[in-house]
Each structure stands twice: as C-alpha cells, then as structure tokens.
Amino acid sequence: MSNEFFSQRKLIARYVLAAALPYFILSLALLTAILMAQQSERFAELALYAQLPFSLLGQIEAALIPNVLVFTLPMALLAAVMIGFARMGSDSEIVAMRAAGVGTWTMLWPVLFLGLIVTAGSLYINMKEAPQAARGLRRAAILGALRKLDSPVEPRTFTTEIPGYVIYVRDGNKVEGIWGRVFIFNQLPDGASRILTARSGRIDTSADKSELVLRDAVLTQVPGPATAATGQYVAERSEQFRIAFDTGRSALLTKLDQAEPEPDEMEWSDLRKAAAAGKPRDMRDAQRMLQKRLAFSFSPLVFALLGGALGLRVRRGGRGIGVLLSLGMLIAYYLVFLLGESLSRVGTVSPFVGAWMATAFMLLLSFAFLRVNRHPLSGILARSRPKNTEAKIGSTGRKRVLSGARHWGFPSLLDSGMLRTLFTSFVLGFISLVSIFIIFTLFELWRFIALNKTGIGMVAKYLLFLLPLVTVELFPATMLIAVLVTYALLAKRSEAIAWWACGQSVYRLMLPGLLFGLLAAAGIWLIQEKLMPPANVRQDSLRAAIRGGAARAITGTGRQWLGAADSNRLYSYEYDEQHQTLRDFAIYDFDSSGVHLEKVTTGEQGRWRTSNELTVEKAETITIRGLEVAREQNAQLELRGIEAPQIFKPTVDKPSQLSSRGLSDYLKSAKRRGMDVSALAVALQRKYSGPLSVMVMAFLGIPLALSFGRRGTVIALCSAVAVSLAYWGVSGGFQQLGNHGLLPPPVAGWAPPVIFAAAGTYFLARIRT
C-alpha cells in the first residue's frame, strides 16, 4: 500500500513538474532576451565609436547576463507555476486530483522543490556572479573610455571632449589616431582666443599623461573684446608644436586600479565585513545591499509558493488568466520592494525591514490564498457566463462557423473570432512585456532616484515619454507571439482542418492575421513618426535629470560650430531662431589646401540678403599673410559665397529623436557638411523598414503556427522566442556592418525583413494550402 502511495505521489510530482517546466524555460529565455537587448543598448555607443575589440565586447555581454538573471529567474518561475496550474485548472485536472484525494501540499511540493533549486542558483548568482559581473562591467567601461581617449576625434566632426578645446579634423584615420588638416580653437578665461592650424597631428599617450603633437603648425592669438583695440594679434609658425592637456585619463586609470569596490561589486564575505565595520553611511549601504541580495535570492521559492497558491484556485481562463495573475503579482512585488528600498535609504526603516518587506507581503498573500479556498479566482467569470453557453457553441456555434467559412466574404464569423483572439493575445503580451521592461528600468534608475531625491512626478513623466520608444521596440515580438498563439490554438483544435474541408485555402485563413499585422504596422508608423521623436527628446532630458540631478534640454539657441563641405570655411555662431539671423559669429577662411587660416571675419549680427549673401553688422576682419596679421573694421560688410541659411539651423542629431523626414533632411545637411553619414543612412533605412517588420512577423508566424501548432502552444511559443532572438541578432549584425560602411545602407536596413519574409515564404510552401 505504501509503495503504491509513493508511486502515485511521484506520478503526480512528475506531472506537475512537466506542466510547469516548459513554461519556465520558455519564460526565462524570452525575458532574458528582452532585458539583454535593453541592457546592451547602454554600451552600443561606446562600442561603436571607441572601436572596441570583439573580446572586450564579449566580456561586456557576458557580464550583463548575471545581472539580468537576477530578475528573470524569479519572474520566469512565477509565470511558469501559475500558468501550469492555471492550465491544469481550466482542464479540470485539479478538480479530478482533489476528487481522487490528492491534497493541496501534495500538488505544491513539486513546484516548491523546483523553487528551491532555482533559489540555490539565484543565491549563487547574487552572491558570486553578480558582484564579479559588476566589477567586469566597470572595468570594461573604463577600458572602452581609455581606448576612446587614444583618438577622440572623428574626421569631419567637431569634438569638445578635451576640456577647453574645440577640435575639427578634415582628414585622418581614427583607428590609427592620425589627424590631417587640424583646426583647434581654445578660448582663454580673459576672452582672448588661440587658434591652432596644422597639416597633421596625433595624440601621444604615456602612463597617465596625454600630449597633442602637431606638425607644420601655425598659432594665431586674438585678444579678447576688452583689449581688442590695444591688444596684439600674433601669428607664430612651428615645424612641431606640442600641447599637454588633461583628457581625464589619470582619473580613469585611478578608477581602474581602485582597490575599494562599491557595495554592488562586493561578494558575500566582503559585504559582511563592510556591514560590520566602517563609516556609518558605508555600513548602512553594505547592509542594504546584503539584505537586498538575500531577498532576491529567496524570491524564487516565495514565488513558487505564491504561484501555486494562486494557480490552484484557477478554474477557467487557462494560460491567459495565469499570465495576467503572474503579471499582477510581479508588479505588486516590485512596487512594494521599491517602497521598502526607498524607506530604507531615508532611514525610516532598517535595511532588513526594507529589503524583506516585499517578501513578507508575498508570503502573507500566499498563505491567505491557501487558507481561503471557498471561491475560485475565475468564479466571477463563470457566474457571469450563461450556463448553457458551451452547449450552444457545441450544437449551433460550430455550424455557424462552418457555414461562415463556406463564404468568401470578409469578415466571416471565423474571421471575427480570430481577430478578437489576436487582439486579446496582442494586448496581453504587450502589457506583459512593457511591464517587465518598465520594472527593470525602474530598478536600473532607482539608485539615482533616491540619491538625487527625484520626485514621483518626474519619474512618472519619464516612463510616460519612454512608452513610444518601448512600443516601437516591442511591437514586432508582440505581434509574433499573438499570431503564433492564435493560429497554434486554431491548428490544435483542428479548426484549420475544418476550414480547409469547406474548400478554403490557407491563404484565406491567413487574411485576418495579415490584416491585423497591417493595422499594427500602420500604428507603429504613426507612433514612430508623430509621437516618438518629441517624446524621446523629453525622455532623454528627464533621464539626464534623474541620473545627474540637472535637466538637459535641446534648444534652438546656443553656440554652434559648422564645417562647410563645399568651401574651406568653418563657422562659429549663435543662431537666432526668431529673427533667422546669426549672432556673435566668426567665419574662418582657409587657404586653398585647407590647412592654414587666411582670414577670420567676426560680427555681432549677420542677415541673409539672398541664399548665399550675408550682411554683417559691426564686422571685424583679420587677414593673415604668412606671419603678418592685418586688422580691419567695418560698420557693415557684405559677404558672398556663404552657405544656405537652412544649413545653419540647429538640429537634433539623434535618429531616435527624428522622424524619417527629419532624419532625411538632417542626412542631406550632414552630407553638405562633409560628415560621415553611414550610421545616419542606416538609421534612416531602418526607420523605413521598421513598420514592415511587424508585417513580416505576422507573415512568418502564421505558417510556423500551422506547422507546429498541433504539437501545442508551448512549441509555438518556443518558436516565437527562437525567431525573435534570430531577428534581433540578424538585424543588429546588419546594422553594425552598415554603420562601419561594409554594406550599403539600403541593404543593411532592408535585409533582415526581406530574409525573414523569405523564411515565411519557405514555411508557407511546406504546409497544406
């Protein structure tokens, strides 16, 4: 008897684990991929402009994984347990088990055992791998910054990264650190300026010092406004000119060799020592980090209990209600955790209470749900539904579906049902992904929010303005999930066979999905063109305010530098947007070879008479012939051959802050200035092809679902994860090839959707049509 009893318990345990484990693996892969993509963007600019070696890029990606797994392991386990039990409840399997005498804890202990295993892994990651990853990320970021300092100037772009200097290089090799035709402007504290021009240059770096070495250099010194009448205008020529300057290299090397790690870089033993002795503030920070890691480590076990307590009460709704409940519990847990973290930072509660507040709340909920079993969670839905609904669907509904399928008209009854299912799956998936994205973003910024005492209103505004960008990024993956789930259920229930039996082809069956994809693509285009550009400007400014305590804003005024591609001229000016004039400007004319200055024209104000004629008021002209300097003043001066007015207008230069039309105009302007526009051209093509990716995901997902759907929705969702990862990888790879000029921009931008559309055509050709 006892052997039979234990055999039954093992059978039940295996069945429960088999119900939850696939969803755990699936959720872990999907959530990790999404958060890895979000975290990788933080280092994308450094990797692109610093020309980092692949080994260092690999170290960065590897160091991101532990920090992401800290969040995704408990999330995935909660979703898996809740969805598994919800599916069993909707199929009446839990009712059957209870009728057979199987108790609650008999069904719970397998998922608790799984939670214990995940907790052990989470404890190791939190205490060992996460600190090492934090140290690795800091080291990789510093090495990347040091590599960038070796040659901080991009040819045909203005650089202000060296404090006190504006540098413009017409030619050169950024990788080798060689500059050609160099212009350097240095503003002195008394208003005087020094202008250096040279035929070539480079940066020599030794230990913690940097020196700029120029060959065939001419130094022109111009007095400030206060001493313009009596000051001397001097020009000096030198075969070699050296300038020592501080690039911040010494500070970076000090950080690299820093012996004392931050609390998030300390392992278990180091945290315990720091929490026991030291300065009161450092001790409290170490105690808070220690308790935070312990709470995160044990959260999988707590989530396993909570997921089981909730999942056992689900009777209807299946996987959908499981996803909704797990999402709600995740949001509640992390909101309470952030509240406890905030109270702990200000000293209202101890670090122990603040870190474990959310865990205690989830435990109370779990035992409350286990205690109260009178009404299932889906009881309200069941009571609100007519008693004979299923009978009516079974007797007359199927006949109406089949009769609707016999007609070619659109929309038929089956079309309407599919569109409703697509919409429900899409909204549910989108809300889930956005919620996880926002939770992770909040945790990333919470240290700065607490440090700078940022108000809740500013954080809420930042998240609101972040939504358009998140929407554009997540729509393709959400569309793929929605299409795969909808058509996989269609195939599993043999409704597709009934559809084909009525004489309809698979192409007609695809029509609702493609129409839904078209509507989503139109929506993402409108968001990308109308909402996202101004929203990204605001969210970048708010993010800077949250992280640094001071708001940054892009305005229509401010000092601008412009290098003309069609002439040997550089411009420095302030642009008056209201009057369409230049103020406090200077024009630097170079010789025919573009190396040394011939003339500098300054003025208080400049107005365009025609598209290439400028009237300068209170003008001053400095003419340089060899080492002789001549100065001339005019109340009004007419200049010809000036660039068109639209080139001087300040523009937003981030592709994410521009619509496709705005980016196209900026691209043309950048070309006229002689800038390297490879990355901008690729970004423009990706804006054009971005909405198409939503359609491609729908076109690819339908044949995949019809092919694998009969094996279950889990297989379909696994296909969604694999396809999403493949699309992100291929898209990112083609983008980097295009940014480095190895592929034409149209190929880099359009190749990923074309490749995956071809894959969809291949899968479509292999199924019954």
Average pLDDT of the residues in 568-594: 85
**Is residue 113 very low, low, confident or very high in pLDDT (cuts 50, 70, 90)?**
very high
Nearest Cα to Cα of residue 563 among 108, 30, 183, 13: 183
Alpha helical stretches, state H, 452-567 = 456-492, 495-501, 506-526, 532-548
Average pLDDT of the residues in 71-86: 86
Maximum distance among all Cα pairs of the chain, rounded to whole angstroms: 112
**Is residue 174 very low, low, confident or very high in pLDDT (cuts 50, 70, 90)?**
low
Rounded distance, CA 542 to CA 548, Å? 10
**Is residue 729 very low, low, confident or very high in pLDDT (cuts 50, 70, 90)?**
confident
Both tokens assigned to 559: 């000092």
- Least confident range from 42-51, 273-282, 370-379: namely 42-51
Contact of 741 with 678, CB cutoff 8 Å: yes
Which pLDDT score, from 0 to 100, does residue 396 have? Answer: 46
Contact of 719 with 477, CB cutoff 8 Å: no
Give the relative orientation of helices 2-40 and 54-90 as an angle to the nearest 10 degrees: 140
Which pLDDT score, from 0 to 100, does residue 380 have? Answer: 40
- Least confident range from 124-128, 227-231, 512-516: namely 227-231
With tokens 């898996």, the residue in question is 80
- Rama region for 715: left / alpha / beta (φ>0; ψ in -120 to 50; rest): alpha
- Least confident range from 359-373, 376-390, 480-494, 697-711: namely 376-390
**Is residue 510 very low, low, confident or very high in pLDDT (cuts 50, 70, 90)?**
confident
Average pLDDT of the residues in 11-17: 85
| Mean pLDDT of all residues belonging to the chain | 78
Which pLDDT score, from 0 to 100, does residue 43 have? Answer: 57
Which pLDDT score, from 0 to 100, does residue 406 have? Answer: 45
Contact of 738 with 727, CB cutoff 8 Å: no
pLDDT of 613 strictly over 60: yes
Rounded distance, CA 290 to CA 275, Å? 8
Q: How many CB atoms lie within 10 A of CB 200?
A: 18
pLDDT of 551 strictly over 70: no
Q: By three-state DSSP, how is residue 735 classified?
A: helix
With tokens 């697509």, the residue in question is 422
| Burial letters 356-377, b for 16+ CB under 10 A, else e | bbbbebbeebbeebbeeeeebb
pLDDT of 121 strictly over 90: yes
Alpha helical stretches, state H, 581-712 = 645-648, 660-673, 678-708
Which pLDDT score, from 0 to 100, does residue 717 have? Answer: 63
Give the relative orientation of helices 54-90 and 104-124 as an angle to the nearest 10 degrees: 170
Tens digit of each residue's pLDDT (9 = 90 or more) over 688-698: 998 999 999 99
Which pLDDT score, from 0 to 100, does residue 84 have? Answer: 83
Which pLDDT score, from 0 to 100, does residue 393 have? Answer: 37
Which pLDDT score, from 0 to 100, does residue 42 have? Answer: 58
DSSP string, 300-349: HHHHHHHHHHHHTT--SSHHHHHHHHHHHHHHHHHHHHHHHHHHHHTTSS
Backbone angles phi, psi at 372, to 5 degrees: -100, 105
Average pLDDT of the residues in 58-84: 83
Which pLDDT score, from 0 to 100, does residue 720 have? Answer: 67
Tens digit of each residue's pLDDT (9 = 90 or more) over 455-493: 788 888 889 999 998 899 889 888 988 888 888 777 777
pLDDT of 741 strictly over 70: yes
**Is residue 398 very low, low, confident or very high in pLDDT (cuts 50, 70, 90)?**
very low
Highest mean pLDDT among 127-141, 396-410, 493-507, 753-767: 753-767
Which pLDDT score, from 0 to 100, does residue 386 have? Answer: 41
